[in-house]
Chains A and B, each alone.
Chain A
Amino acid sequence: MNIDRRRLLTGLSTTVLMPRLACAATVTDATSRVITIPDKVERIFAAGPPAAILLYTFAPELLLGWTRSPEPAQCAFLGAGACDKPEVGRLTGRGNTTNLEVLLQLKPDLILDVGTINDTYVSLASRVQEQTGVPYALLDGRFDAVASLYRKLGELTHRSDQADAFAHYAEDTIAKIKGRIDKIPDPQRPRVYYARGPRGLETGLGGSINVETIEFLGAHNVTAERQGGMATVSMEQVLVWNPDIVITIEPSFAAGVKTDAAWAPVKAVQTGRVYLSPRLPFGWVDFPPSVNRLIGLWWLAKTLYPDQFPEDLRSLTRDFYQRFYHLTPTDAQIDNVLGGQG
């Protein structure tokens, strides 16, 4: 353990004294807070769904519990025992449901949070760390940072070798997909509308986390002119945009859109290019915004650019589920996932 005096001192000044300081290492998290982690990190409290999924893929045994208990349909795609873990609530993000006393009772060595880095979450992290005395690491959840996310998690858990394998997989996937897409000239890139809500009229605006992977793949998000989060748009506006492709996570919308007279003039409907995103055990396109989107990147790439991606999605899916979700899905299960069931 290489303890640098100056880093330790900065750690002391920015964070609060911790009981296990004597035998500790420090890691700088995404907020530039230097946190001191104990020698043995065996129990980790995930502050929200992105952190829980990340941690589950990396080392299920470290995960103390889920933010929300997975549904039976999700459990079928998680390794043995994953669904026996308790529901512990969320500590961050939209609404706090964890009682700090319950958190302390779980005796975590570390609190892990993955998501947006802004002043609100930074101050929340410092405050919880101060109140509980448990080191609180806040990591950047942006999609293109997924490899460094694993490396940071490796540092935090003293398992850097294991983390490298995950990081390499993420880097290879992204490099392979990006390499092919970069060669596609701009006019051949499709115009995409991301449909949510029961009638498909809720969408992610440009730069929102909902369309992060769609924009990452160089497709033209029709809402890109407006930056923001989620919003409602009118049917007329969708007709004006007239997207080439509609991606949705809403099964009832995907089923009904083909016979909906209002949607009939839309190019994507006429050419049969409305695609229901797979979502088991975790969503493939936007939510939860964690590493589950990595396999979704293959699906999206194949959906948006079928000519450039001849790969068999089934074997990619099986491989990803073995590596990240710790189970080997059957062919029937893979069919269900790819069919958007869940």
Chain B
Amino acid sequence: MARSAPGLLIALAVLVVALLLALTLGRYPVGLGDLLKVIEAKTTGHPSDVPAAAVSVIWQVRGPRVLAAVLVGAALAIAGTAFQGLFRNPLVSPDLLGASSGAALGAVLGIYFSLGVFAIQAFAFFGGLVAVAAVYLIGSAVRARDPILVLVLTGVVIGALLGAGVGLVKYAADPYNQLPAMTFWLLGSLAATSAADLVPLFAPVAFGGLILVALRWRMNVLSLPDEEARALGLPTGPLRIAVIAAATLVTSASVATAGIIGWVGLVVPHIARTLVGPDFARLIPTAALLGGGFLLVIDTLARTVGAIEIPLGILTAVIGTPFFVWLLAGVSKTWS
């Protein structure tokens, strides 16, 4: 426990600092003073002297977006943590089993049929769930000595197929109206987040997150080889389904809201592991706090550096790639 307390505290401090920065920075000038006045006015019910537009920025624009960034970052980080443990591989990210590709296909289909925002998000969400379910069913139908390997391979293959589907829809799309919308969606952004997005994002993320937290002890055993886990009396099959389902739920919900954002689910679990070690009981909350803080910083950059948004997928990759290279160089020492 001696090691976990500072680790968790560091992660919490990162998130708090990120929250303060994110809430006070933005294209529309709302400083810390205005922010406090607006919050005070809301809690006490007294009117404040802050202009209505600034109040709207806090409650309708910046506030929901900050919360969404934290939720999406946390969701991707815990899903990545769960998958890296489950597949006993440090280079695994939450989209391994096709959740992102499925969501991408769902979203571009939604755009192709000119659906509304919520329908597009619903398409993306269920696209992710259906893709992973298909991967799992196909993967477990194949009888093999190494079920994990078969599952990963199936995920890669189905992911490629879904990628081809995305390509086909983009090819068939109207190049003037639909294609740019699809491209922007696939690059990931929280620019369009509104207060109404928060419930459909929060509910699945909270539900999936709670399942993973509840399974934290068993996941420790699951990261052992199958034979050893079974020797300890753990039914690996049902547990694996539960972890995959929970991780897929949170991944699909976050991708549906924010589009494709790579790297968070890959990089953050490693930072969390260096902070608190491999015990899932400590790893999952730390990863959630760090992931939330990390994506919040990235999203704050994306919306403040210029009048034009920088897509999140691009920013996370620019920051994630050097880390990934460093990780590859050091991977043989820390794993296996």
Interface residues of A (CB under 8 A from B): 49, 68, 90, 93-95, 97, 196-199, 201-202, 205, 223, 225-226, 228, 230-237, 239-240, 242, 249, 252, 260-262, 264-265, 283, 286-288
CA A68 to CA B26, docked complex, whole Å: 42
| 29 residue pairs bridging A and B, Cβ less than 8 Å apart | A94-B179, A196-B177, A197-B181, A199-B191, A199-B192, A205-B308, A223-B307, A226-B306, A226-B308, A228-B308, A230-B180, A231-B308, A232-B189, A232-B309, A232-B311, A233-B307, A233-B308, A234-B309, A236-B27, A236-B28, A236-B62, A237-B303, A237-B307, A239-B61, A252-B116, A261-B56, A261-B59, A264-B56, A265-B52
- Minimum Cβ distance to chain B for residue A113 (Å): 15
For A242, what are the chain B residues with a Cβ–Cβ distance below 8 Å? 53
* Docked pose: A68 CA to B171 CA in angstroms: 12
What is the bound-complex CA distance between A73 and B52, given in angstroms?
42
In the complex, the 6 A-B pairs of residues with the closest C-beta atoms, listed nearest first: A287-B176, A265-B53, A199-B192, A262-B60, A236-B28, A236-B27
Interface status of B138 (Cβ within 8 A of chain A): no
Q: Are A232 and B175 in contact (CB under 8 A)?
A: no
Q: Which of A233, A283, A288 contacts B191 (CB 8 A)?
A: A233
Contact B181 A94 (CB under 8 A): no
B60 touches A261 (CB 8 A): yes
Decide: A95 near B116, CB < 8 A? Known: A234-B303, A262-B61. no
Q: Which residues of A contact B311 (CB under 8 A)?
A: 232
A198 with B116, Cβ < 8 A, contacts A226-B308, A264-B56 known: yes
A-chain residues with CB within 8 Å of residue B303 when the two chains form the complex: 234, 236-237
Q: Is the CB of A240 within 8 A of B28?
A: yes
B28 and A225 form a contact (CB under 8 A): no
- Among residues of B, the one whose C-beta sits closest to the C-beta of A251 is B114
Which residues of the other chain, A, contact B171 by a CB distance below 8 angstroms? 95, 97
Alpha-carbon gap, A252 to B61, bound state (A)? 19
Chain B residues whose C-beta falls within 8 Å of the C-beta of A252 in the assembled complex: 116-117
If A252-B116, A262-B56 touch, whether A93 touches B307 (CB-CB below 8 Å) is: no
B113 at the interface (CB under 8 A from A): no
| B117 lies within 8 A of A198 (CB) | yes
Contacts of A234 in B (CB 8 A): 26-27, 61, 191, 303, 309
Contacts of A288 in B (CB 8 A): 176
Could you say which residues of chain B place their CB within 8 Å of the CB of A230? 180
**Complex Cα spacing A264 to B176, Å:** 29
- In the complex, the answer to whether B61 meets A236 with C-beta atoms within 8 Å is yes
> Knowing that A198-B120, A287-B177 are A-B contacts, what are 6 other residue pairs whose CB atoms are under 8 Å apart, sorted by A's residue number?
A199-B191, A225-B307, A234-B61, A239-B61, A261-B195, A265-B52
B27: A residues at CB distance < 8 A: 234, 236-237, 239-240
Cross-chain contact B177 with A239 (CB below 8 angstroms): no
Query: A232–B191 contact, CB under 8 A?
Result: yes
The interface residues of chain B lying within 8 Å CB-to-CB of A239 are 27-28, 53, 56-57, 61
Which residue among A90, A94, A228 has the maximum number of chain B CB atoms within 10 Å of its CB?
A94
Tell me if A's interface is mostly helix, strand, loop or mixed.
loop
Q: Are B184 and A202 in contact (CB under 8 A)?
A: yes
A228 to B306, CA, bound (A): 14
Residue of B nearest to A94 (CB): B175
Among residues of B, the one whose C-beta sits closest to the C-beta of A228 is: B308
B26 nearest in chain A by CB position: A236
Interface string of B301-317 (1 = CB under 8 A from A): 00100111101000000
Query: Is B140's CB within 8 Å of the partner chain A?
Result: no
- Asked whether, in the complex, the Cβ of A236 is within 8 Å of the Cβ of B306, the reply is no
Chain A contacts of B61 at CB under 8 A? 234-236, 239, 262
Complex CA–CA separation, A293 to B191 (angstroms): 30
Contact flag A233-B309 (CB < 8 Å), given A94-B175, A262-B56, A262-B194: yes
> Which residues of chain B are within 8 angstroms of A199 by Cβ–Cβ distance?
117, 191-192, 194
CB proximity of B26 to chain A, nearest CB, Å = 5
CA distance A283 to B26 in the complex (A): 34
- In the bound complex, do residue A265 and residue B56 qualify as a contact, i.e. CB atoms below 8 Å apart? yes
Q: Which residues of A contact B184 (CB under 8 A)?
A: 197, 202, 232
User: Are A235 and B177 in touch, CB under 8 angstroms?
Assistant: no
Measured between beta carbons, the chain A residues less than 8 angstroms from B60 are: 235, 261-262, 264
Contacts of B180 in A (CB 8 A): 196, 202, 230
Residues of B within 8 Å of A196, CB to CB, are 177, 180-181
- Within the complex, the shortest CB–CB distance from A341 to chain B, in Å, comes to 13
Alpha-carbon separation in the docked complex, A286 to B53 (Å): 30
Query: Which residue on chain B has the smallest CB distance to residue A198?
Result: B117
Query: Which residues of the partner chain A approach B26 to less than 8 Å between Cβ atoms?
Result: 234, 236
Complex Cα gap A129–B124 (Å): 43
Which A residues are CB-close (under 8 A) to B194?
A: 199, 260-262
Residues of A within 8 Å of B65, CB to CB, are 235
**A283 CB contacts on chain B under 8 angstroms:** 176
- B10-68 residues with Cβ-Cβ distance < 8 A to A are 26-28, 52-53, 56-57, 59-62, 65
Q: Which of the residues B28, B59, B192, B195 comes within 8 Å of A197, measured between beta carbons?
A: B192
